[in-house]
């Protein structure tokens, strides 16, 4: 698996559904560079079981992401038309109605491949024909991208394993704290906890006040 932390996030332009009902042809994360952080996450497929719980959970906390100047963007290999239909389907019927953040379409699989979350890869058969080996879906990858367009955090879950929205918020708080104060965040740090200076003296001071 590629480690993208510390590198520029892969660039793409693709179709997306925004505001829960509007299909746009050219959507790119570059629109956020210099303005906002981005929480960019992949999920396997529309109209599944674990996926709606995650997408709705991110929407339920959207005010907390916005308060931190973070844009949330989802992605799967489905088409914009599949996304749109799922967004119009009531939650009690397995849909994600009322989700408002952008959801992008990665039908070519190239965005999932660029972020190295694709559950399979392209190969050639004995006849020399281009084939896909594996599952043409994305694992549950999550990438925190800073305002300079650099990936600062990534985590990838296998398909059956749902993610923690609270953990995503905790990591955002840690990143923004280190950017503002220049201190580093120890294990299990959360907003309001004591941080430490990156030195032996700082570690000693932190441990003595635990």
Give catalytic residue positions.
51
Q: How far apart are CA 8 and CA 148, in angstroms?
A: 8
């Amino acid at each position: 698996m590629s480690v993208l932390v510390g590198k520029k996030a892969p660039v793409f332009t693709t179709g997306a559904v925004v505001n829960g009902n509007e299909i746009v042809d050219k959507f790119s994360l570059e629109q956020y560079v210099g303005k906002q952080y981005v929480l960019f996450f992949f999920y396997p497929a529309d109209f599944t079981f674990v996926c709606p719980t995650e997408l709705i959970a991110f929407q339920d906390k959207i005010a907390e992401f916005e308060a931190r100047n973070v844009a949330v963007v989802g992605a799967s290999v489905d088409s914009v038309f599949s996304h749109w239909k799922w967004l119009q389907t009531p939650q009690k019927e397995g849909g994600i109605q009322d989700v408002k953040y952008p959801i992008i379409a990665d039908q070519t699989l190239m965005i999932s491949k660029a972020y190295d979350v694709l559950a399979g890869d392209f190969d050639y058969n004995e006849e020399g024909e281009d084939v896909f080996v594996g599952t043409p879906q994305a694992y549950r990858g999550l990438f925190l991208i800073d305002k300079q367009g650099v990936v600062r955090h990534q985590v990838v879950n296998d398909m059956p394993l749902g993610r923690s929205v609270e953990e995503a918020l905790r990591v955002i708080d840690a990143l923004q704290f280190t950017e503002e104060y220049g201190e580093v965040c120890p294990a299990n740090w959360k907003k309001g906890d004591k941080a430490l200076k990156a030195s032996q003296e700082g570690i000693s001071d932190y441990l003595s006040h635990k």
